[in-house]
Each structure stands twice: as structure tokens, then as C-alpha cells.
Amino acid sequence: MGKKQSKEKRKEYKRQTKKNKRIQKQFEQQKQKDDNEVKILLLGTGDSGKSTIVKQMQILYKGGFHKDEIEIYKNVIRSNVKSYIKTLIKACGTLNIEIDEKNRVLSQDFLETVRKNSPEITEELREDLKTLWGDKAFKEAYTRRDEFQLPDAAKFFLDQIDTIADKNFKPKEKDILFCRIPTVGVKEINFEVNDHVWRLIDVGGQRSERRKWIHQFENVNMLIFIVAASEYNQLLYEEQNTNRMQESLQVFKKHVNNEFFKKKDLVILLNKIDLFKEKIAKYPITKCFPAYSGKNNFEETSKYIKKQYLSLVKKKKKRKINCHFTCSTNTDMTKKVIESVLNTVIKSDINRYFM
């Protein structure tokens, strides 16, 4: 009886030992996975370019876009082209820009009959789109787009109406980068570089989406805040009397100093720098920063804007902060910036390990 019980105890001990080793192995594997996984959170207000950065990561590290994704973007681009024309027609009325007499009836019919959310573009509609976009009133309205809501990419697509309307139209990577679909909820892209698994989290930047941000704050290794530098003279979609960059500054101040991030590396991307260079030659930044007294050139104004964001960061000595000027639709420029960002994370991890 005693020998039988002793034998059972030994068997149970072996089973338990084997189980413990298995659990320990799983724990070590998970720990190694966690050590090699880096979570980067993208924050920024609406239309800052966060989603474009995510698309660039898909191009650079995931082999581009799948067939079904390309089909979705094709339909969105076609719908957007009609939406842009409708917006420009209304803007001409609001801004008292006179549409050519022969196109007035056409523009009114377009407003009343064309479904902007439909991806279909008939031959007749293609000609109507070209005729209206060819009207000098629409070009004038476009140059004054800071006075109403129109994406900067509108001209890029309206200039290629024939291509977009073609039945065999297949968006290229550049088309997809310029195509804007507001982020709703949370989007994540995972990729492997330098023996690390990177998790890039993109959350919607519109006001209605920001309440969801806090759910992504845990276990973040780096925070990237994106600023649309060119929007210093534009107003919010959601509130027509609030400057976009002033809104961005307030959102930045609130979130970069959050307890979750106070010791985390911070990267500020001053995006759309190509558009900023075009604008600054015509529109002073005093519309956003009345106290600015420097020259209205790129060098001084960009340095001033950078300083405004950096001045809002508390406890600078406890975290590594980098600021880059970039254009998220430029793949080569984005690649250089992203490589710099990834290397910063790896170096920070090494420093923390040995210090």
C-alpha cells in the first residue's frame, strides 16, 4: 500500500515538474516576444497625415496594397472627385466668385442631380467634371480653400479626371497616399524590422474619436504626434471659428504630458511641409500666432512653430524628444524619418537596459 502511494507521488511529481517546465518555457517565450515587440502610438488632430504615415509603412514594410484595398480606394477617389466639384460650386457662391455664364446651369444641375457618394462616372459626367474644373472660377476658389473646407489633394485628383474616369483605372501608390479616408476607431499595422516586431497604432483625430485614445495608452514605447504645419491658417471641420493649429497645440499639450507618457520617447512630425512652404510665401503665420514678429520665410516660421510645440512639453530631461519636418506623401522622405524613429527606440531600449 505504502509503496503504491509512493509510486503515485513520484509520478505526480514528474507530471507537475514537466508541467512547470512547459509553463516556464511558455513564459520565457512570451517574455522574449514582449521584449522584441515595440508599440508606437500615432496621435494628432484630424487631417494631420497620420493615416498617410500608416499607408507608407504598408508600402515600405508590408509589400504595398492588396487587390481588394485598391478597389476600395478606386471607388473612394471617384466619389471624392464629385464631392470636390460640389464643394467648389458652393464655395464660388459663398465667396462671390462668378462662374462663367455658360457653366452656371451646368453647375446647378450638378449640385441637384449628381450623387457625390456614388463611384460611377459616366462619359457624360466625365465631360461635365472637366468642364467645371476648367472654369477659372473653380481655380480661383481652390486658391482660397483656407476660407472653406476642401482637402489639399483635390487639385491632384481633379487634374487627372480622364484617368480616374477610365473603366480600367487602377490607383497607383501615389494616388492611394493622396486619397483621404478619415480614420474611425483604431487601426493597427504590424511589421518586423531589425529583429523587432513593431505595432503602429493609428487612432482617429477628429474630436468625436479622441475619447477612444486613452484605451491605447498602456504599454506604449514611443509617442509620435503629427502636426499639419500647413494648416496654420485653416479652421476646423467641426468648429468653424477654431484655428486648426491652435486646436492641435491644445491636444498636444494635454496628451504628451499624460502620466502614461511622461517617461516615454516623443517624436513630433511637422508634416505637409511642402504645402507649408507654398503657403508661407502668401499667408503670414500671424493669423495663428499674433505675437510672431519675425520674417515671413520658411526658416524662421518653421523654427517658431517647432518652438511652440516643444515649449509645451513638461519634464523634458526625463524623455528623449525629436522633431522632424516631413511630407508624408513623399515615400523617400518618410522612409528616412521612420528609420530614424525606429533607431531611436532601439537605442533608448539599450540605454535603459545598461543604465
Q: Are residues 160 and 197 in the same domain?
A: no
Q: Are residues 202 and 237 in the same domain?
A: yes
Taking alpha carbons only, the member of 171, 320, 190, 310 closest to residue 253 is: 310
Q: Are residues 232 and 325 in the same domain?
A: yes
* SS3 call for 189: strand
Residue 355: pLDDT band (50, 70, 90) is very low
Count of domains in the chain?
2
Taking alpha carbons only, the member of 209, 208, 228 closest to residue 146 is: 228
Question: Among 163, 178, 193, which residue terminates a domain?
Answer: 178
Question: What is the number of H-type helices and E-type strands within the chain?
Answer: 13, 6
What's the confidence (pLDDT) of residue 14?
A: 66
Q: How many CA atoms lie within 13 A of 278 on its CB side?
A: 9
In a domain? residue 26: no
Q: Are residues 287 and 331 in the same domain?
A: yes
Query: What type of residue is 235?
Result: L
CATH number at residue 155: 1.10.400.10
Residue 48: pLDDT band (50, 70, 90) is very high
Average pLDDT over residues 157-181: 95
Read off the pLDDT of residues 277-334 as tens digits, 9 standing for 90 and up.
999 988 999 989 999 999 999 999 999 999 999 999 987 777 889 999 999 999 999 9
Residue 25: pLDDT band (50, 70, 90) is very low
Burial annotation 200-212 (CB, 10 A radius, 16+ → b, else e): bbbbbbebebbee
Q: What percent of the chain has pLDDT over 70?
A: 88
Q: Are residues 126 and 263 in the same domain?
A: no
157 pLDDT above the threshold of 50: yes
Question: Among 178, 209, 241, which residue terminates a domain?
Answer: 178
Domain enclosing residue 146, as ranges: 67-178
More confident residue, 289 or 259: 289
Q: Where are the beta strands (DSSP E) in the chain?
A: 37-43, 186-193, 196-203, 222-228, 265-271, 321-325
Torsion sign (Cα): 209, 241, 117, 181: negative
More confident residue, 64 or 344: 64
User: In this structure, are residues 344 and 267 in contact, taking their beta carbons and an 8 Å threshold?
Assistant: yes
Report the range of poorest mean pLDDT among 7-11, 43-47, 278-282. Answer: 7-11
Residue 28: pLDDT band (50, 70, 90) is very low
29 pLDDT above the threshold of 70: no
For 329, the grid coordinates are 506623401
Report CA-CA distances (Å) from 193 to 30, 198, 252, 343, 346. 19, 7, 28, 10, 11
32 pLDDT above the threshold of 60: no
